[in-house]
Amino acid sequence: MSLTEWQTWAPFVDALRRSAPPGTDVSEFAGTVGGGAWDGSYLDDGDADARRAHYREAAREAARTGGRGPKAELDDALRAIADLSPDDGQTVRVVAGPRPADDVVELVDLPPSVVSGPVTPVLEVVLEPGALPARYRETISPPPDGAPAASADPDAVTRLIADRMPDAAGAEAAEIDEAEAALPDGARLPDEVRALYAAAGSGNLSLAAEQGGFGGFEIVPLRGSFLREAFLPAARFSTWTADAGTSAPADPAGRVRAAIGSPLWFPVGTDGAGNVFAADLAPASNGRVGQVVLLDHEQHAGAVYRAESLTALLVGQGSGSGDVDLEGSGRASVGRAGSDPTVDGPDRADRSEDEEADPGSSSDPEFLNLDPAVWAEQLDAGTVPPGLKAAGLVPDRANPPALPDAIAVANRLLELHGQALIEVTRLTRPEGDRPGAPESKESSEGADRPRRKGLLGRLFDR
């Protein structure tokens, strides 16, 4: 069987109807199935809460009697479908209607410009492929008169590596030069960083630190490590819906620039938990070139000051060495920072307080997150902002819009920008599979192929 055969879906449609709360007319599942897994949401007569309450009661009864849980039959059916689905997942909408003749399965093929989310298969539409929010396009540059801290000591770093990693092999000088040449704006690697890699190109630098001191890190290789790009702005971006309003936390001491990310935060070590220690080559006015910052994998933006130099971090020299304790040391949460004069680029501009609070409040916003009905009004009136780079369709996560409404509006937005549309293949229960219907040669043959309609028919002929 295949995904385009009704028999593949029939067990799930029937289970969807049987598992609904008593008195339900129409039950719906919208989500993604594939790669051995599935994810989605259920609605019963348009209500997302009714099934949860029904399931809680059914689960208590199953626990009391030793029976199967309320989702067991649904999961069995979805597991069989998932085995037939592509690894990257098939977006679907399944409806169990008041009568078997009303049952519908819709296979939704999303173009690359449509982004799925945890609450709906159509979370947002990216109207400018590859576009990022303005704050993700901002850049930082090395200060023209920047200097390292007095504690920076390349020889001390070399001696430490020789002591702690006697079998380490250093990177070739050409490899270090290549890494430096790849830096933007003519930035140079600090002598401490060059000394580190000349002594050890990779490996675990374990320090027998005193209580409260720094325990070392795993050296991030100059080549081949995903950590070299993991904290760049594009890698930290997830969706417009989640990140359009993201900005970096401000350093109250004025040492670290408020940026989403930068190749000038040069990774040198990782703590093994996904966080990276980086040499800051573009510090703020109160910082020092080569100071060490922490890039926290749990944060979507920014870096946190850790030490005034690599030497201070590793050897404990300098006034900044007390800042390396990770416990309670102020991992800043992502918020909205004020205008930072050290952030460069054509996309940096003075912003009013209203614009800081709402990235969609300017006269020509890059992103708006509106209900499909509101988008339809703007499309009808021809008032969709011309500078829009992405459109969100789920302003209220607790009450996501109906999938047909989201698809219809998404396609109008995509068509407006000349992009590929969402396509829907609609399957209905064959007459011979309906209780009380006569079995016929024609109906049994028709059961093996989907009913295909024109685009408008596929979207609106429900």
Percent of the chain with pLDDT over 70: 82
Same domain, 89 and 229: no
Q: In the structure encoding, which two tokens stand for residue 68, read together?
A: 């199967």
pLDDT in tens, 108-132: 999 999 999 888 899 999 999 999 9
Q: Which of 271, 258, 202, 259 is nearest to 232 (CA)?
A: 259
Q: In the structure encoding, which two tokens stand for residue 93, read together?
A: 């909408």
pLDDT on residue 343 = 42
Same domain, 50 and 163: no
pLDDT on residue 454 = 42
Same domain, 103 and 142: no
Same domain, 270 and 280: yes
Look at 156-165, 182-191, 204-213, 351-360 and tell me which has the smallest mean pLDDT. Answer: 351-360
Q: Is 442 within a domain?
A: no
In sequence order, which residues have a C-beta less than 8 Å from that of residue 98 and are 6 or more positions away? 25, 26
Residue 332 has pLDDT above 60, yes or no: no
Same domain, 178 and 37: no
pLDDT on residue 105 = 97
**What are phi and psi for residue 406, nearest 5 degrees?**
-65, -40
Q: In the structure encoding, which two tokens stand for residue 54, read together?
A: 């029904």
Same domain, 279 and 184: yes
Residue 330 has pLDDT above 60, yes or no: no
Look at 210-219, 248-257, 376-385 and tell me which has the smallest mean pLDDT. Answer: 210-219
Same domain, 34 and 171: no
Q: Is 352 within a domain?
A: no
In sequence order, which residues have a C-beta less than 8 Å from that of residue 111 and are 6 or more positions away? 414, 419, 420, 421, 422
pLDDT on residue 449 = 37
Percent of the chain with pLDDT over 90: 67
Same domain, 272 and 143: yes
Under 8 Å between Cβ of 369 and 241: yes
Q: Is 444 within a domain?
A: no
Q: Is 243 within a domain?
A: yes
Same domain, 310 and 178: yes
Same domain, 144 and 91: no
Q: What is the mean pLDDT of residues 71-79?
A: 91
Output the pTM of the full model.
0.78
Burial of 135 from C-beta contacts in 10 A (0-12 / 13-18 / 19+) = buried
Please give the span between the terminal C-alpha atoms of the chain, in angstroms, as a whole number: 25
Q: How many Å apart are CA 192 and CA 189, to the nearest integer?
A: 8
Residue 452 has pLDDT above 60, yes or no: no
Confidence of residue 63 (pLDDT cuts 50, 70, 90): confident
Q: What is the mean pLDDT of residues 38-48?
A: 89
Q: Which residue has the tokens 């989605």?
A: 40
pLDDT on residue 337 = 34
Q: Is 100 within a domain?
A: yes
Q: Is 461 within a domain?
A: no
Q: How many Å apart are CA 324 and CA 321, to the nearest integer?
A: 6
Q: How many Å apart are CA 291 and CA 306, to the nearest integer?
A: 8
Cα separation values, 335 from 91, 96, 133, 348, 392, Å: 34, 44, 15, 17, 21
Same domain, 236 and 300: yes
* Amino acid at residue number 185: D
Helix ranges (H only) for 22-71 are 49-65
Confidence of residue 214 (pLDDT cuts 50, 70, 90): confident
Same domain, 122 and 140: no
pLDDT on residue 333 = 35
pLDDT on residue 196 = 98
What mean pLDDT value characterizes the chain?
Answer: 84
Q: Which of 101, 113, 95, 127 is nearest to 31 (CA)?
A: 95
pLDDT on residue 316 = 78
pLDDT on residue 244 = 95
Answer with the residue of higher pLDDT: 27 or 319. 27
Q: What is the mean pLDDT of residues 49-78?
A: 85
Q: Is 284 within a domain?
A: yes
Q: In the structure encoding, which two tokens stand for residue 424, read together?
A: 């829907």
Range of the domain at 225: 134-316
Q: How many Å apart are CA 91 and CA 304, to the nearest integer?
A: 40
Residue 351 has pLDDT above 80, yes or no: no
Angle among Cα 132, 294, 325 to the nearest 5 degrees reads 155
pLDDT on residue 324 = 40
Residue 167 has pLDDT above 90, yes or no: yes
Number of domains in the chain: 3
Q: How many Å apart are CA 227 and CA 171, to the nearest integer?
A: 18
Q: Is 223 within a domain?
A: yes
In sequence order, which residues have a C-beta less than 8 Å from that of residue 409 and are 6 or more positions away? 372, 375, 376, 379, 393
